[in-house]
Chains A and B, each alone.
Chain A
Amino acid sequence: MTTLVEVRNVGKSFPGVRALHQVSFGLAPGEVHALMGENGAGKSTLMKILAGIYQRDSGDVLVNGASVDIASPRQAQALGIGIIHQELNLMNHLTAAQNIFIGREPRRGFGLFLDEGKLNADADAVFKQMKVDIAPTATVGDLTVARQQLVEIAKALSFHSKVLIMDEPTAALNDAEVAQLFSIIADLKAQGVGVVYITHKMDEVKRIADRVTIMRDGETVATLDAKSTPIETIISLMVGRDLADVGRVAPAGAPGDEVLRVTGLNRGKAVRDVSFALRKGEILGFAGLMGAGRTEVARAIFGADKIDSGEIQVHGAPVRIDTPADAVRHGLAYLSEDRKRFGLVTPMNVEENVTMASWSRFLAGGFFMRASALAEVADGYVEQLRVKTPSIRQETRLLSGGNQQKVVIAKWLARDCDILFFDEPTRGIDVGAKAEIYKLLRALAEQGRAIVVISSELPEVMRLSHRILVMCEGRITGELPGDGATQEAIMRLATQREARAA
């Protein structure tokens, strides 16, 4: 079989880490080859080697059968390898056309001036080929994420790429957008383009992939036929063990008294007339598509964004929350999906992060920090939550995603918060760490804390929650019991758009 790209026994190490070891992988023309594995399995490293961002330490890379060294992104492009990174790499202030042709702008006037006309015409031609209607002169920052992604794809195609690498391209897309992306991928296949498709989503592999290669701990474990291989096989190869019982997480037993009641919460178009109640010991799930307004609800309650109207009661008494500080004083905590940006101070150590929300309690004489008390509290939580860290003096940036998440949880527990909002608590952490977080959520609920979990993974919401609230376009479109809800029922509510009057 001819291959567009072949990787043979490639190895790559970073200081202290062996990222890739004896990795082999091939891509045929017109093939969609899925690449799966837990976080840290080496998928992105492998792709970055193909894209010329990293250099391999050993092994061979063959393009069209010839051995090559891909020294730079530019050389990868010249070899016909295009990559669409997970974090979109676009310049928001520039137009779509300017982004597509960055680094190889057409010029006129003895090469002195940019040829904006040709630039836009060329971009338009690429969009036409993809059958999408994006104006070449549209400013990228004004486009939706899905359309920005299409600009990225257009950019890759404009190099006449024969190989397209997509790193979790559907992470931020809704169903209709995913369908459009898949139809574009089908067109590309028909033209003989090979697609490497990195994903965590099993259903996508089943829908579009021809073959699937599974990576674990920097090695390629297996390459299988995507259609005929059962999902369970893929998962067990990814994890390297059979997953323990994937039963329900929500503790049995009736939740206690009501601790939080939100009535008629409104914030622009993002949050519209949201009302719900939360009980002691309860885990309440918020499901919905990206952009449905779940995060916005949490942020509005937490005082991070100003609300237009609405009433919030904590333990039965109406409270006024204008700032996050107010929310924390009332025992509310919000654990952001973006831990690095909003939850953790990564250059600081575990102890500092655990105690930072409650530093004012550790003052001696109102001025000096009581170092021993700080350490005691931090040690206590590290033990209670089983944070894997060599010591409480370890900088948090050196911890794994799951352990970082635990440190953030510890911070709010140390602050006596008993109403906890978890926004995508397992995003970006691997299957093993996920199970740990689930156990922790269950323990927290059993201890009588009230928990809201926002999650885009339906199986996760269903396992975790006593009740599931589904949102669409800023409204709560329905409530389902966690036990007995089906993915179909949730999706129906999540796509239940408002019938537009007028």
Chain B
Amino acid sequence: MDALATPTAAPAPQERPALMSSGTKQKLLAFAGLVAILVFFSLASPNFLQKDNIFGILQSTSVNGVLAVGCTFVIISAGIDLSVGTLMTFTAVMCGVVLTNWGMPLILGVVAAIFFGAFTGMVSGLVIAKMKVPPFIATLGMMLLLKGLALVIANDKPIYFNDTPNFSMISIDSLLGAIVPWLDIPNGVLILFIVAILAAIVLNKTLLGRYVFALGSNEEAARLSGVNVDFWKVVIYSLNGAICGVAGLLIASRLNSAQPALGQGYELDAIAAVVIGGTSLSGGRGTVLGTIIGSFIISTLTNGLRIMSVAQEWQLVVTGLIIIIAVYGDILRKAKA
């Protein structure tokens, strides 16, 4: 009980200038929340802290985590992408077409997924930047369009990867386990962390990252400063698309199939993870680390509630409440500042 009480202890009075930025605080709070959830479930169920279960949580975070990392870029730039779920599925289907239907080598399947992801993201970016369609509408359209395309291309049936035996390598096998036997973390999890680290570097150390924040903070100011706003928007959505392609590979590998009917709904989990992680939906503020913590909060919660035999319906209720509470906490803190 103490562990649960600590992170929500009365906030210290905030008279003087804040020591930490609001984003840092939100991240710490999200992290404390994650720890609290972990401690709570560990105490509540002996099955929770088992290695298999922890790996299960890691594995189930990988897809949502990767999608959420992509969304982080878009959302910090004050955009939104509702198509990431069905885009992920679309890339999985394209990968299936290349590997199973055409019998090409694995590497081309990987390239295809990432290429079609980036290409589709670029289309969204062009619609938003050049045709000036609001991101919400543009990507809502793309969401439905891609869902339909995936079903058409796959002929309404799953595409299995039985002819590509190495395909499970992407997500399920463990490269680390081959070196350190007890640390057999699935490759999917490894990929999540690699994607996250690369994304964090791009966001904080490169021009692209700087413009992501600039667009989200004040697009007009960036434009008047000579920044090619349209171009960078297209780049941001393309990058997000490419990252969705990685997620497509992960989910296809885990299921050993591309399931064309899957995907819708993933975008909301991804956006939820981003928001819980302290990224502002109005743009200009956010971190990759926060998003990763947010993803883990969602998957840990789902896993823990399932272990405690809470009905799935109630899992949704709890997740919904957590999202609202997390963002409300952020608003309260900002009001005080």
A and B from one complex = yes
Residues on A facing B (Cβ under 8 Å): 51, 53, 72-74, 77, 85, 89-94, 98, 102-105, 107, 112-114, 139, 155
Contact-residue bracket for chain B: 20 to 34
- Whether, in the assembled complex, B14 has its beta carbon less than 8 Å from a beta carbon of chain A, the answer is no
Q: Is there an interface contact between A103 and B206, defined as CB atoms closer than 8 Å?
A: no
For the complex of A and B, list the 5 residue pairs with the smallest distance between their C-beta atoms, beginning with the closest.
A74-B226, A91-B217, A93-B284, A89-B221, A93-B217
Q: Is there an interface contact between A91 and B226, defined as CB atoms closer than 8 Å?
A: no
CB within 8 A of B213: which of A77, A85, A94, A155? A94
Q: Is there an interface contact between A85 and B217, defined as CB atoms closer than 8 Å?
A: no
CA gap between A53 and B223 in the complex, in Å = 10
Chain B residues in 8 Å Cβ range of A91:
213-214, 217-218, 221-222, 284
Are A77 and B226 CB-contacts (below 8 A) given A105-B210, A107-B207, A113-B205?
A: yes
CA gap between A139 and B209 in the complex, in Å = 17
CB within 8 A of A90: which of B218, B223, B285? B218
Q: Is there an interface contact between A89 and B21, defined as CB atoms closer than 8 Å?
A: no
Chain A residues in 8 Å Cβ range of B218:
89-92
Nearest B residue to A139 via CB reads: B21
Chain B residues in 8 Å Cβ range of A92:
217-218, 284
Chain B residues in 8 Å Cβ range of A89:
218, 220-221, 224-225
Chain B residues in 8 Å Cβ range of A102:
210, 214, 221-222, 225, 227
Chain B residues in 8 Å Cβ range of A77:
226
- Whether, in the assembled complex, B117 has its beta carbon less than 8 Å from a beta carbon of chain A, the answer is no
Q: Is there an interface contact between A103 and B227, defined as CB atoms closer than 8 Å?
A: yes
Nearest B residue to A112 via CB reads: B206
Q: Is there an interface contact between A114 and B210, defined as CB atoms closer than 8 Å?
A: yes
State which residues 216-272 of B face A: CB under 8 Å. Answer: 216-218, 220-227
CA gap between A196 and B217 in the complex, in Å = 28
> Could you list some 23 contacts between A and B, CB below 8 A?
A51-B224, A53-B224, A77-B226, A85-B224, A89-B225, A90-B218, A90-B221, A91-B217, A91-B222, A93-B217, A93-B284, A93-B285, A94-B210, A94-B217, A98-B214, A102-B210, A102-B221, A102-B227, A103-B226, A105-B207, A112-B206, A114-B206, A155-B225
Of the listed residues A73, A89, A102, A113, the one surrounded by the most CB atoms of chain B closer than 10 A to its CB is: A102
CA gap between A90 and B245 in the complex, in Å = 35
Q: How far is the CB of A158 from chain B (nearest CB, A)?
A: 11
Q: Is there an interface contact between A73 and B284, defined as CB atoms closer than 8 Å?
A: no
Chain B residues in 8 Å Cβ range of A107:
207
Of the listed residues A91, A104, A107, the one surrounded by the most CB atoms of chain B closer than 10 A to its CB is: A91
Chain B window 186-220, contacts with chain A (Cβ cutoff 8 Å), 1 for yes, 0 for no: 00000000000000000001110110011011101
Q: How far is the CB of A137 from chain B (nearest CB, A)?
A: 12
CA gap between A90 and B216 in the complex, in Å = 12
Nearest A residue to B280 via CB reads: A93
New A-B pairs, 12, CB < 8 Å, besides A93-B217, A94-B217, A114-B206: A73-B223, A77-B226, A91-B214, A92-B284, A93-B284, A94-B210, A102-B222, A102-B225, A103-B222, A107-B207, A139-B21, A155-B225
Nearest A residue to B283 via CB reads: A93
CA gap between A10 and B21 in the complex, in Å = 48
CA gap between A114 and B208 in the complex, in Å = 10
Chain B window 5-36, contacts with chain A (Cβ cutoff 8 Å), 1 for yes, 0 for no: 00000000000000001000000000000000
CA gap between A112 and B284 in the complex, in Å = 22
Chain A residues in 8 Å Cβ range of B224:
51, 53, 73, 85, 89
CA gap between A93 and B23 in the complex, in Å = 11
Q: Is there an interface contact between A73 and B226, defined as CB atoms closer than 8 Å?
A: yes
Of the listed residues A93, A105, A114, A155, the one surrounded by the most CB atoms of chain B closer than 10 A to its CB is: A93
Nearest B residue to A87 via CB reads: B220
Are A72 and B226 CB-contacts (below 8 A) given A93-B217, A114-B206?
A: yes
Q: How far is the CB of B77 from chain A (nearest CB, A)?
A: 11
CA gap between A114 and B225 in the complex, in Å = 18
Chain A residues in 8 Å Cβ range of B207:
105, 107, 114
Q: Is there an interface contact between B213 and A103, defined as CB atoms closer than 8 Å?
A: no
Nearest A residue to B220 via CB reads: A89
CA gap between A102 and B226 in the complex, in Å = 8
Q: Is there an interface contact between B213 and A93, defined as CB atoms closer than 8 Å?
A: yes
Q: How far is the CB of A81 from chain B (nearest CB, A)?
A: 12
CA gap between A94 and B222 in the complex, in Å = 11
Nearest B residue to A140 via CB reads: B217
CA gap between A53 and B205 in the complex, in Å = 30
Chain A residues in 8 Å Cβ range of B285:
93
CA gap between A139 and B23 in the complex, in Å = 13
CA gap between A251 and B172 in the complex, in Å = 84
Q: How far is the CB of B285 from chain A (nearest CB, A)?
A: 6
CA gap between A89 and B225 in the complex, in Å = 9
Nearest A residue to B17 via CB reads: A142
CA gap between A98 and B216 in the complex, in Å = 14
Q: How far is the CB of B58 from chain A (nearest CB, A)?
A: 30
Nearest A residue to B205 via CB reads: A113
CA gap between A51 and B205 in the complex, in Å = 30
Q: How far is the CB of A84 from chain B (nearest CB, A)?
A: 11
Chain A residues in 8 Å Cβ range of B216:
93
Chain A residues in 8 Å Cβ range of B227:
102-103
Chain B window 270-302, contacts with chain A (Cβ cutoff 8 Å), 1 for yes, 0 for no: 000000000000001100000000000000000
CA gap between A104 and B217 in the complex, in Å = 17
Chain A residues in 8 Å Cβ range of B213:
91, 93-94
Q: How far is the CB of A136 from chain B (nearest CB, A)?
A: 15
Q: How far is the CB of A98 from chain B (nearest CB, A)?
A: 7
Nearest A residue to B209 via CB reads: A114
Q: How far is the CB of B291 from chain A (nearest CB, A)?
A: 17
Chain B residues in 8 Å Cβ range of A73:
223-226
Nearest B residue to A113 via CB reads: B205
CA gap between A72 and B229 in the complex, in Å = 13
CA gap between A102 and B222 in the complex, in Å = 7
